[in-house]
């Protein structure tokens, strides 16, 4: 099965918006036994026609995103209909849906909206429960005039409309249209923290490359490396027997779980709670933890203290210590962690302080980082120091990664 994705949108190529559709569609297709063989992004305009005409002869499934909306640069529906020689027909049920939608959100319905009720003849309408533009399914019969035979889906561009439409409507259609054949292949991701990509390969590569039928890949990100293994369930059990002992405590749980989800899971398991005291990570630690469903069972509070005064008032950090050591220092990191424990009565606290840049405020070089972990009744906080001069969001990400991993290792050692 050859699956191709065409993302339309000048904003994607100008870099005004990041294409998150590919990520989402790739993840959704794999459990259906389908993989994206090729993805292309073209601007709104005639290039859409070229991309469709390129993909139609090669592909079994073509997923097109964007360009179904009401504005003048929304051209996908018209271009596809024209290329396939299909007239556009008004669909009264869609018009009713559009009118009801605008009544519900209490905004006026502009005349241009009605374009979205046009459907190429022979297409099936896929209702949009989160916006106005319906999706469209063009079966191979609709394309037969051009000598093509893929299943074509035209999907809306906004992620919050596309995602539920794909998961709840398109995925079941694909499962029925293209039932899986042959032994089912699974994808397992092993995520390692605190180790480099080439070290991971040195530890597991020789044993894994010797396994017939196994597909492996490596992907390095800030503060973590993914090892991706695709194969049958039997083969992946043999992989597991190699990977778990070889990567040991570097390894998060399998399944591509995020570091924050691993920490939340460990804390729920042990019935313990966490607070965070953030300076340089500026709320990112709390934000990552609260992205995990169920975080409210373990996360008590986050105190983002961005000034010396806030560190003193909210965390009880001694003003003399701040003056003597500077806010970016090991003693202040420790005092922040201790203060968070006292203020929130949680079992654990993590603290971060550093110079995120672009300019250094406190005399320490940009990239300087201190992280601290305190445990209730656990004596002096553990403090680690690092230096990672990088861009501001990268530094925040790296610092939050190191802090979460410090707690993860602690919980793992106690488990």
- Does 134 engage in binding with a second copy (CB under 8 A)? no
Residues 61-90 that bind a second copy (CB under 8 A): 69-73
Among 145, 365, 393, 414, binds a second copy (CB under 8 A): 393
Quote the DSSP letter at residue 9: -
Q: How far is the CB of 266 from a second copy (least distance, A)?
A: 17
Among 120, 150, 231, 282, binds a second copy (CB under 8 A): 282
90 - beta bridge partners? 118
- Does 26 engage in binding with a second copy (CB under 8 A)? yes
Strand boundaries in 14-72, DSSP class E: 36-42, 61-65
Q: How far is the CB of 140 from a second copy (least distance, A)?
A: 24
- Structure-token pair, residue 409: 């290792």
- Does 112 engage in binding with a second copy (CB under 8 A)? yes
Residues 321-380 that bind a second copy (CB under 8 A): 343-345, 356-359, 361
Quote the DSSP letter at residue 341: H
Among 173, 214, 310, 321, binds a second copy (CB under 8 A): 310
Among 214, 301, 321, 330, binds a second copy (CB under 8 A): 301
- Report d(CA 327, CA 331) in Å as an integer: 9
- Does 57 engage in binding with a second copy (CB under 8 A)? no
Residues 225-254 that bind a second copy (CB under 8 A): 226, 228
- Does 197 engage in binding with a second copy (CB under 8 A)? yes
- Does 221 engage in binding with a second copy (CB under 8 A)? yes
- Closer Cβ to a second copy, 306 or 414, answer by number: 306
- Closer Cβ to a second copy, 81 or 204, answer by number: 204
Torsions phi, psi of 391, nearest 5? -65, 160
- Closer Cβ to a second copy, 124 or 214, answer by number: 214
Per the CB < 8 A criterion, the answer to whether 385 and 370 are in contact is yes
- Report d(CA 90, CA 87) in Å as an integer: 10
- Closer Cβ to a second copy, 2 or 149, answer by number: 2
Q: Which of 83, 154, 164 is nearest to 123 (CA)?
A: 154
Host H or E run for residue 291: none
- Does 110 engage in binding with a second copy (CB under 8 A)? yes
199-207 long-range Cβ contacts below 8 angstroms, 24+ apart: 200/225, 200/227, 200/247, 200/250, 203/246, 203/247, 204/242, 204/243, 204/246, 204/247, 207/242, 207/246
Per the CB < 8 A criterion, the answer to whether 192 and 225 are in contact is yes
- Does 47 engage in binding with a second copy (CB under 8 A)? yes
Pairing mode of beta strands 88-90, 118-120: antiparallel
Among 85, 87, 183, 196, binds a second copy (CB under 8 A): 196
- Does 38 engage in binding with a second copy (CB under 8 A)? yes
Q: How far is the CB of 19 from a second copy (least distance, A)?
A: 6
Q: How far is the CB of 7 from a second copy (least distance, A)?
A: 8
- Does 190 engage in binding with a second copy (CB under 8 A)? no
- Structure-token pair, residue 149: 């035979």
- Closer Cβ to a second copy, 110 or 180, answer by number: 110
Per the CB < 8 A criterion, the answer to whether 4 and 61 are in contact is yes
Which value, to the nearest 10 degrees, does the dihedral of the CA atoms of residues 106, 112, 116, 117 take?
90
- Closer Cβ to a second copy, 107 or 415, answer by number: 107
């Amino acid at each position: 099965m050859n699956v191709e994705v065409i993302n339309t949108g000048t904003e994607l190529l100008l870099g005004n918006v990041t294409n998150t559709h590919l990520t989402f569609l790739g993840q959704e297709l794999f459990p259906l036994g389908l993989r994206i063989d090729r993805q292309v992004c073209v601007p709104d305009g005639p290039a859409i026609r070229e991309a469709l005409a390129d993909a139609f002869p090669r592909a079994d499934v073509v997923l097109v995103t964007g360009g179904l909306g009401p504005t003048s640069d929304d051209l996908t529906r018209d271009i596809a209909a024209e290329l396939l020689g299909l007239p556009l027909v008004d669909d009264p049920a869609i018009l009713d849906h559009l009118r009801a939608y605008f009544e519900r959100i209490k905004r006026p319905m502009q005349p241009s909206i009605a374009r979205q009720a046009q459907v190429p003849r022979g297409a099936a309408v896929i209702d949009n429960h989160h916006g106005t533009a319906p999706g469209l399914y063009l079966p191979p019969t609709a394309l037969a005039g051009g000598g093509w035979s893929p299943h074509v889906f035209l999907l809306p561009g906004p992620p919050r409309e596309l995602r539920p439409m794909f998961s709840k409507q398109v995925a079941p259609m694909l499962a029925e249209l293209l039932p899986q054949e042959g032994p089912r292949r699974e994808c397992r991701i092993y995520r390692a923290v605190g180790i480099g990509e080439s070290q991971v390969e040195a530890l597991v590569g020789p044993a894994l490359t010797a396994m017939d039928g196994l597909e492996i890949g490596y992907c390095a990100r800030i503060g973590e490396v993914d090892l991706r293994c695709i194969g049958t369930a039997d083969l992946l059990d043999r992989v597991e027997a190699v990977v778990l002992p070889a990567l040991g405590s570097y390894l998060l749980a399998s399944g591509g779980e995020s570091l924050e989800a691993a920490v939340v899971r460990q804390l729920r398991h042990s019935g313990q709670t966490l607070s965070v005291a953030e300076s340089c990570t500026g709320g990112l630690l709390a934000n990552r933890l609260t992205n995990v469903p169920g975080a409210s069972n373990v996360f008590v509070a986050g105190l983002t203290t961005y000034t010396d005064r806030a560190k003193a008032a909210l965390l009880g950090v001694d003003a003399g210590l701040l003056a003597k050591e500077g806010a970016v220092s090991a003693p202040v990191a420790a005092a922040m962690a201790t203060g968070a424990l006292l203020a929130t009565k949680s079992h654990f606290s993590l603290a971060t302080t550093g110079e995120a840049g672009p300019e250094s405020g406190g005399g320490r070089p940009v990239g300087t980082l201190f992280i601290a972990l305190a445990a209730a009744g656990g004596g002096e906080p553990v403090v680690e120091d690092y230096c990672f001069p990088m861009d501001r969001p990268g530094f925040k990400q790296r610092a939050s990664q190191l802090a979460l991993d410090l707690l993860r290792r602690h919980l793992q050692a106690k488990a």
